[in-house]
Structure 1
Amino acid sequence: MRNRRDGKRVTNISGMHSLLPHFKPSRADSDVYINHKLDVTELVKYYEKLKKNEETKHITYFHLFCAAMGMTVYNRPLLNRFVINKKYYDRNDVTISFVAKKEFTDTAEENLSVIKINEEDDLNEIANKISSVVKEIRSKKNNLTDDFINNIGKLPKLIKALIVGLVKFGDNHDLLPKSLTANSIYHSTVLVSNLGSLGCGAIYHNLTDFGTNSILITIGEIKDEAVVINGKVEVRKVCELGANLDERIADGFYFIKSIQLLEHILNNPSLLEKKSNTKINLK
């Protein structure tokens, strides 16, 4: 049994799960889609309170969602599992990734961004990490992963195909240097796309067979919606969540319970002021 630099080998799995990578060797064959409407009424109230405080007014909805996802992963560790080369691994770190544009224009470059969420990180620390990464992107500075991708993209087709093949082989056998994977969205726990900031609903986005990313989540725009509660119609703040997950890492029950935990955290946003590894028990 050999560990990877980014994860520990898992062998204590059921017979069915051990066979899944052989029946479904690629992530594209194994992805499942979940669409869920999140009630974020309490989150909106909490956000509005943050905006009134000088020390917390920099915190955005994206920061809140990322912090909630980090806390969810610490409470639901199978979400941090991945399959590569038909083997299971538990990732060493909890990481959230996203793609950020340098400018809000059609032709602006996109940059790959990854933040590590440590066990002791709270909402403020996570918000500062994301803000720091975005600020660096807007300052026109590319990271090594971006530069590598841009340079490969300029090469002739045959050479490009050869290099990509070598990179995928190296990734499958844990031979890639950390400098290439540290800022790779394809090697993160959760890849998040905040479509709500563009006034769009959640969509389904495919996973990729390159890298180790097993979860991709899109967040839609927050809207008012009439909801029947205890026989009465109430207007609540609601947003769509679209999730694409590698079904080989856990079963459907585990995924649904994880979504329920995420919603519980968003309904009790003061939990985000605690450490990310704070244990939460749902009844």
Structure 2
Amino acid sequence: MIQKPTVEQMISSGFKNPYFIKSVINETGISEEAVRSLGKAYADEVTDRFFEYNYEPMELNNKKHVFTDLGITDAQGDNLLQLVDNLIFAPREKIKPYSGFRRLKNRSDGRRIDSINPFMKIMPYVMKQRNDAQVMAKYPIDVGVIDDYIKEKRKDGMSLTYLHVFVAVFVRILAIRPELNRFIMGNRHYARNHISISFSVMKSLRDGGEETTLKFHFTGNESIYDIYHILETAIKKNVGEPGNTGVDKILDICMRWPSPLLSFVAGSVKFADNHNFLHRGLIAESPFHCSIFVTYLKSIKLPSIYHHIYNFGNTSLFLAIGKEEKQAVINDDKIETAKICDLGVVMDERICEGLYLAHTLRILKQHLKDLSVLDKRLTRVLEDID
């Protein structure tokens, strides 16, 4: 099975993987030198366009010139570009499940990653728990574009909130930046096989009001319309009703047990989770086993905070969306007033490298400047490395 390289891997390696080169030569019938050169040129352009949030396969703007320099026909070059597209932008549903020993190393919510560098592999042994490895940052966001987008969608009958928009952006980012959807369990790195977001919902804003936690599963292809429908359906179903989620029912039963028994069961669940034999039903219901845990503090008029990552479960990202407020900002060397919402980010640093995160924040900025990209479904979801 040929490893599917990420865009960054293609650039850093310059198509040096011999198995990849061999497969391309067999598929296209052109020379190894041509494959390496054209592959590098294509990877550079893909990355430039990729960071402008255009993730669809595209042709080289100067491909005629490149083909001529390499001494290959247009048909051969087009065949190579199509092959590269298929390898980079492989839809999730086309990835076949592993079998045999490799399958035993996987979990119901993710597959183990073996091809990361040794330094990243050793990090979970040095920083054993998530609160050892959590890094924090506050990310100010000018929400003027979000306000305009919400007003525009009201014309379509959608009562969008910041929560809908942020969840849609987070889902899109995870779909195209799969390393952020990793988690650490048993000192091993895993690529989550789905996108899931958890957050708490207050059923009443009075003191002592009941609270429930909802978990949403996504494919990564969803548009803002899909996200809105999914969130609204679940929230309306649970707000105003007595505890009726799977988690609520499980906790209601468990809290009737004696404290020693409850402590033993909690410890057993952690042990089973750490050794990959926790029941898939519990993992599916648990809000602590998710891609991102979100706290929407804007709904209770509180500023953003840094919320710790839970050691229980396998959440690697915790995001706090605070109440927006007017702040002085510098724009073109002029001091202006802008409506700013702070996003508090707490992340398990063991899941990916700092450069990857920096590029991701760049893409996040671009999405928040042009929310129209959320109107259409994403046709291809990027897959993490093996």
Same fold per TM (> 0.5)?
A: yes
Which residue pairs with 2:283 in the alignment? 181
Equivalent-residue separation in structure 1 for 2:376 and 2:327 (angstroms): 30
1:62 is the counterpart of 2:163: yes
Distance 2:252 2:381 in 1: 42
Deviations 1:226-275 (A, max 9, x none): 21111122222211010110000012222232223222211111111122
1:161 is paired with a residue whose SS is helix
Could you say which residue in structure 2 is the equivalent of 1:48?
151
Comparing 28-37 with 143-152, greater Cα deviation is found at 143-152
- CA-to-aligned-CA distance 1:15-36 (integer Å, 9 cap, x gap): 1111001111111111110111
Quote the Cα distance in structure 2 between the aligned partners of 1:80 and 1:221.
Answer: 26
Correspondence for 2:132: 29
Q: Is the contact made by 2:221 and 2:381 (CA closer than 8 Å) also made in structure 1?
A: no
- Give the helix-richer structure, 1 or 2: 2
Q: Using CA pairs below 8 Å that are at least 6 residues apart, which structure has the higher relative contact order?
A: 1
Equivalent residues in 2 for 1:94-109 (5 A)?
A: 94-109=195-210
Measured after TM superposition, the shift of residue 136 of structure 1 is 1.6
Aligned with residue 356 of structure 2, among 254, 257, 265 = 254
1:240 aligns with 2:342: yes
Aligned ranges 1:160-199 → 2 under 5 Å: 160-199=262-301
Between the aligned partners of 1:141 and 1:152, the Cα distance in structure 2 is 14
CA contact (8 A) 2:308 2:346 kept: yes
Alpha-carbon deviations, 1:145-176, whole Å to 9, x = none? 22112322232221111010111112112322
Deviation at 1:120, TM superposition (A): 2.6
The list of structure 1 runs, each at least 4 consecutive aligned residues, that deviate by more than 6 angstroms after superposition, is none
Identity of aligned residues (%): 29
Take 1:215 and 1:8, find their aligned partners in 2: how far apart are those partners?
A: 18
Q: 2:186 matched to 1:85? A: yes
Give the drift of 1:106. Answer: 2.4
Structure 1: any 5+ residue segments left out of the alignment?
Answer: none
Secondary structure in 2 matching 1:186: coil
Letter of the structure 1 residue corresponding to residue 359 of structure 2: K
Determine the C-alpha separation between the residues in 2 that align with 1:99 and 1:277. Answer: 30
Q: CA deviation at 1:277?
A: 5.8
CA distance in 1, matches of 2:130, 2:262: 23
Asked if 1:14 corresponds to 2:106, the answer is no
CA distance in 1, matches of 2:125, 2:379: 33
The SS at the match of 2:222 is coil
1:123-272 equivalences under 5 Å are 123-138=224-239, 139-272=241-374
Q: 1:154 to 1:39 in 2, by over 3 A?
A: same
Alignment RMSD (CA, Å): 1.7
